[in-house]
Amino acid sequence: MSLLKIIFLILCLLLLFASIQAQSKNPAEDSFTQKHNKLFGHNPKGVNLAIRLTDGKNKFYQGETIRLELAFSSTVKNAYSIDSATYDRSGRLEIDDFVLDKDEGVVDPMEDYFSIRLAFTGGGLRGFPTLKEKPELINYEINEWLRFDKPGKFSLYVHSGRLMKGTNLNFDGRLRLISNVIEFEIVPAEKAWAEKTLQDTIKLLKNEKNEEYRRDACLTLRFLNTEGAAREMIRLLDDEDVCNFQASFGLRSSSHRRFIVEEMEKKIDDPQFPVTETFISVLGFNAYMLTNPEPLPAYNGDDKAKAELHTQAQWKQWEKLQSFSDKYKERLTLAIPQKQRSALAVCLKTLFSSNYDKKTPNPALVNQLVNVFQDLSGDNQQNLLEYQWEQIASPAFLPLLKKIYEDPPKSTWGIQEIAIKRIYELSPEEGRQIILNELRKPNPGVGIEALGVLPDEELPEVEQLLVENLLKHDDNEEAFASFVERYATVSVLSLLRDSYEKQIGKMPCNLQESLLNYFLRVDDEFGALMLDKAIKSQNNEHTGCYSSIIEKLWVKKFTPAIEKVILAHINDSSVEVADDAILILGKRGSADVEEKLLQRFVELKREMKGREKEIKERDGEVHYDSPKKLEQSLINALAYSPSWLMNKERLANLLQFCITNDGRKNVKQLIDSWNTSITYSATGEREKFSVAQYSDMNVDELKRKLSQFPSGTVFIVESAYTKNEKAKKIFDELKDYLSERGMKLIVENNIDDK
């Protein structure tokens, strides 16, 4: 056979082999690879995201923790930064996506929980390091997002939203970044391995005090996904234990829900088991999910109708979920007589804390709580006294409060102050005597938060002693300055003026703030001079307190003398000072300052002329050195002031002064949403009203604002707001008030009434 024929035959065989290989490839794998390659090709030049498994292996049991490292680097100097957040207060960080080549047998273990919740408190501490050639590292346990219910081989890459163009908080938007692909295998969990892992973890948690090691052990339990791990996590549902968070999420994400519900229901009736708030929440969630609730309708942010249906369905699910938790609270209440002492204390704390919206005390439960109150931790005692007091307030607490005041729990800062306030509420005479005794001490054990609760405007009987202790200039100087600020009379003004006038601008910030507030309270003319001096103390010889003086100003009466000084600083060379001056004038200034603020807006526009390109480039900034900050403050001061009305026409006039796109957008939103509908809400004894852009007003503040509208204005209130007697009475009075001023209030049926 000739050489040419041999070569031809070899080529044919190679083509046949390539064809067979192509046909044998998994289409899903091809799609995964093609999608990854396409996205990877769009990564910014010079930036890299490399991922790797950090435990030195690529084969894992089902339920084994899989740790992943993300390494961000850049060969382009000072061009990119990353968001280095490692947690979110909501319980899940949604900044990186984990993309698998197949999803069969893979579930998001927390999807149910996060889809049903209506709102989360998000955010958390984070940094924004500039990327260099040396990588910035982020570590994950991917089990938080992926639970492998079936064995198999997987490929994964990360689609990250951490990358930002720019450095030093001067960012020009976020960029998406695609990692390399890694491969790993999930194999069935051997019973012996799972049991050993569980027992080793239980042993570690029993003996280990280091919070970091305990956290890792808690994660092992969370992801193990066995009945034994679930039983241990139920035991760890302690609101004060570092494992509480991981245990609660592990129980919510477990595939053993029925087992968990049965075990937790037994614990409610167990006399020795302390049932916490988290316990009730987790049990209610799992019991509800066992009912197989209907999936939420698809959410589409661009389709308002679908978005509304989604929100309504969320509310219905949330209400059903709450009904399960309420059922278990009722069951816990029935179990209270059988609970033993230490468990009883925690269970009572749970009932009072989880029923925070029920303000009527239950005398029987309150008396039981008093008997076991000191079995609670100091933090739990403090939380009940501070946040659940309306439910537990009772004269039976008085001896206990005195004991806490005299001998507070160790490592519980602030509980003495709370005890004094509660003593004063239950027994004003005894509370007053304790406060006066504390004010006379040369080394006070509590601060102004408790000692300032007396209704007296001034306390001449202790002021001499307060001033004497203040002028010792010792470690308690700031504390005594706060007492003088609150209670001293004008009779000690000359003494304090002689002692401190020359030091204004040079003393510690807290001390200076207290003295300025005292001067302004007893002699506003002299106080205003000292305030002006403090603000002007901006050179290197001074303390730097000038930047926050206006922000922390506390005076009951915002007098013309104070207003005049602050008005002089809306053009201050310090943007921080000017900004605070503008904001406080918007909140507390008289109607006379409106024209001055408008004039300052015009000046800002003029100052920015010729700098349009710079402003556009820095439009996303909100730092104190940016024109945008002043613009925002001027808009807020002018648009929301209680002293004048910024109506639709006047808001339109503000548009011509705006210097940034965001500023114009904010004003346009105010214009578009302008209306004369009055809304009403009540939280406890507090009523809140809103009209146009003005919100969070009490009834007197509302009347003041309504009086600024022109005669002939017609206001509308929906009938839903007038259904209870108290609200109806308020709106009937408003009708008369407006009628006297040539305006009308119309009650209009809302959708539910039609």
Identify the pLDDT of residue 239: 82
Q: What 3-state DSSP class applies to 166? A: strand
Q: Which pLDDT band holds residue 544 (cuts at 50, 70, 90)?
A: confident
The mean pLDDT value for 431-460 works out to 93
DSSP 54-103: TTS-SEEETT---EEEEEEEESSTTSEEE------TTS---SEEEEES--
pLDDT at 686 over 90: no
Q: What 3-state DSSP class applies to 628? A: helix
- Identify the residue whose tokens are 């960012």: 171
Question: Which amino acid belongs to residue 547?
Answer: S
- DSSP letter at 549? T
Q: What percent of the chain has a predicted confidence (pLDDT) above 90?
A: 68
- Identify the residue whose tokens are 């609200």: 727
- CA 384, 387, 393, 398 torsion: positive or negative? positive
Distance CA 754, CA 742 (A): 30
Q: Kindly report the average pLDDT of the chain as a whole number.
A: 88
Per-residue three-class SS string for 558-614: CCHHHHHHHHCCCCCCCHHHHHHHHHHHHHHCCCCHHHHHHHHHHHHHHHCCCCHHH
Distance CA 273, CA 287 (A): 19
The answer to whether 622 and 575 are in contact (CB under 8 A) is no
The answer to whether 384 and 395 are in contact (CB under 8 A) is no
pLDDT at 722 over 80: no
The most confident of 241-245, 428-432, 625-629, by mean pLDDT? 428-432
Distance CA 348, CA 368 (A): 8
Question: Could you read off the pLDDT of 60-112 as tens digits, one per residue?
Answer: 999 999 999 999 999 999 889 999 988 777 778 889 999 999 999 999 999 88
The mean pLDDT value for 522-529 works out to 96
Identify the pLDDT of residue 354: 79
Q: What percent of the chain has a predicted confidence (pLDDT) above 70?
A: 89
The mean pLDDT value for 700-729 works out to 90
Identify the pLDDT of residue 751: 40
Identify the pLDDT of residue 622: 44
Residue 745 dihedral angles phi and psi, to the nearest 5°: -125, 120
Identify the pLDDT of residue 203: 94
Q: Which among 422, 376, 359, 264 is positioned nearest to 686, based on CA atoms?
A: 359
pLDDT at 1 over 60: no
Question: Could you read off the pLDDT of 642-669 as tens digits, one per residue?
Answer: 999 999 999 999 999 998 888 999 999 9
Position with higher pLDDT, 26 vs 432: 432
Helix (H) or strand (E) holding 450: helix 448-451
Using CA atoms of 386, 387, 389, 392 in order, give the dihedral in degrees to the nearest 10.
-120
Question: Could you read off the pLDDT of 188-237 as tens digits, one per residue?
Answer: 999 999 999 999 999 999 888 888 888 899 999 999 999 999 999 999 99
Q: Which pLDDT band holds residue 360 (cuts at 50, 70, 90)?
A: low
Identify the pLDDT of residue 2: 64
Position with higher pLDDT, 360 vs 419: 419
Lowest mean pLDDT among 325-339, 444-458, 560-574, 710-724: 710-724
pLDDT at 526 over 60: yes
- Whats the size of the chain, residue-wise? 754
Helix (H) or strand (E) holding 662: helix 661-672
pLDDT at 327 over 90: yes
Q: Which pLDDT band holds residue 6 (cuts at 50, 70, 90)?
A: low
Distance CA 25, CA 32 (A): 12
Question: Could you read off the pLDDT of 166-199 as tens digits, one per residue?
Answer: 876 655 678 899 999 999 999 999 999 999 999 9
The most confident of 14-23, 516-525, 570-579, by mean pLDDT? 516-525
The answer to whether 332 and 281 are in contact (CB under 8 A) is no
Q: How many CB atoms lie within 10 A of CB 504?
A: 21
Our measurement of the distance from residue 304's CA atom to the centroid of its chain's CA atoms, rounded to an integer in Å, reads 27
